[in-house]
Amino acid sequence: MLGHLSFGVSNLERATGFYDASMAALGYVRVFAGPDSVGYGLPGTENDRLLLIRQPGLVIPPGAGFHLAFMGPSRAAVDRFHSAALQFGGRDQGAPGLRAQYGPDYYATFVLDLDGYKLEAKHPPPEGDQGSLGS
């Protein structure tokens, strides 16, 4: 559906540490780095899934209702994402667990990144989209 998503961060170095750890927990890696940007994707690809762009001045994340959800290959990966995000400065917005309101097997966690972007890690992937993340 999406090729990639780009958003600004206030401190690229800090954000890179946060995203290196939290994305690794879900099986994603840094696929490129430039002087003012870092991209993440699946290992062995150059296809970015998330692009961080350093912006001067104040960074204002989108308002209520926006969040970015990452697919995790397992519930354990979702747990690791939550732990890594908190270890690298993220803020808890919902501990890992089942979210029955979204489906009987919907397992997810929510965090705020260093700039206040709401992130979700979830398992399983949407039906029919097991892709290379597996189940």
pLDDT at 56: 66
Tokens of 73: 């290959």
Residue ranges of the domains in the chain?
5-55+66-133
What string of pLDDT tens digits covers the 135 residues of the chain? Answer: 677 888 889 999 999 999 999 999 999 999 988 888 898 988 888 767 777 777 667 788 888 889 999 999 999 999 999 999 999 999 999 999 999 999 999 999 999 999 999 999 999 866 644 444 433
Closest of 118, 126, 120, 125 to residue 64, by C-alpha:
118
Query: Which CATH number describes the domain made up of 5-55+66-133?
Result: 3.10.180.10
Cis amide prior to 96 (ω within 30 degrees): no
**pTM across the whole model:** 0.87
pLDDT at 5: 85
